Amino acid sequence: MSNIDFDEQREKHAQRVGRMGAHKKRTRLMAGHVSDSAENDRGRKLAAELYDCHSYLCFHDHYEEGTIRLHRTISCKKHLLCPLCAILRAAKGVQCYHERFEVVKGGKPSLRLFYVVLTVKNGESLPERYNHVQRCMRLLLDRRRRASKARRGSVRDTYALNSGLATVDGGAYSFEVKRGSGSGEWHPHVNLLLLVDGTIDVERLRVEWQEITGDSCNVYCEEKSADDRGAFLECFKYAFKFSEMELDDNYHAYETLRGRRLFGSFGSLRGVKVPEDAECDLASPYVELVYRFIQGKYRPVALDRESLHRRDDGGEGIGRGEGGAARSSADRALEYRMIRQRLAVELAGVSGEGVPFMGVSGEACDLVGVGGARPTEVLPDSRIIADESG
């Protein structure tokens, strides 16, 4: 759980960037592995996407609010190969399902939250083991659904009232895969968050899971506090523990599981609409911080002076023209191309000094580092040295 890091607190920003750099190293190693084993254009394209993924990070430092948010980056969206993409995906999953949980809990205050883990016997074949645990999970959820129908009067489904999940009002789940620490065989399992009207009969659930799987009665169940966000982190963390998986195994698991749905919801947590105001962007002023992955770590890079102080509420910035007016798609595309071109320049010695580049108007501009600069501070000369601490 502690490996999922999307803490936006300003005082923890430097540590966060350092951890993201460690994850980026893993992605670069995977890019090299995929490139070495590529036999066609698809493999070579995948390697290139991994190599470029998160090659730069653009943060907005909302200094008045005390938060620093990741605003823009390049993503390969291969969460089964790239730890950084997996973290971003986990963050979205946690936010989405926690908001759904708050909506449902508001309408049914008596519901209790349980965290459950279901496992199956380890095996040498990942496709066979994953298909097995997925099939068993479907059968278990089907019994829960039939128990719900039986409570509404369906006579033919009354047998399902004996299910271990009969009292579950709704829930969410995610699949996770790793190598067994003892056997070295593939070990898939399911993490579940369950909203329960009453309690869960764990012994009954163990017997039922053994009956369904035919090879495992391993069930972990723990009640969680309604305000325990950590339970959502544990359930929706990335599908692989990258630090515990060899590159060969990681790539094999990706080829096996890519395109498959690895998390979902059911019952009262399915299809819940979150109020539009549940998520809002900060409208406070901010300073833009940009890092590029160079020589094995994220290092601050320079930006033009005009990008120092912008606002999220319609002020000048990317996608905005003079007075906050929306720019045309051509202008936005040009500016993004400029960003890519600027970040493609190798910064010899990573000095962080200003480097001339071509602005939107075609005129040369001075770049200035923005690490730690504030609107009230005076920037010396026409450039400053970027603060490596972030």
Say if residue 353's pLDDT is above 60.
no
Written as six digits, the tokens of 138 are 């479907």
Specify the CATH number for 86-278; select among 1.10.287.3510, 3.30.70.60, 3.40.50.300, 3.30.300.30: 3.30.70.60
The pLDDT score that the predictor gives to residue 116 is 95
CA 357, CA 365: separation in Å to the nearest integer?
A: 6
Cα separations in angstroms, 36 against 29, 54, 212, 253, 369: 11, 21, 42, 17, 37
Please report the DSSP string for 128-184 in residue order: HHHHHHHHHHHHHHHHHHHHHHHHTT-GGGGGGGGSTTTTEEEEEEEEEEEE-TTT-
Q: Which residues of 77-96 are buried (b: 16+ CB within 10 A; e: fewer)?
A: ebbbbbbbbbbbbbbebbbb
Say if residue 54's pLDDT is above 90.
yes
The pLDDT score that the predictor gives to residue 9 is 82
pLDDT one-digit tens code per residue, 298-337: 999 865 444 433 433 333 333 344 444 444 555 555 555 5
Q: Cβ(218)–Cβ(210) under 8 Å? A: no
Percent of the chain predicted with pLDDT > 90: 47
Written as six digits, the tokens of 332 are 């936005």
Domain ranges of the chain: 1-76+283-390, 86-278
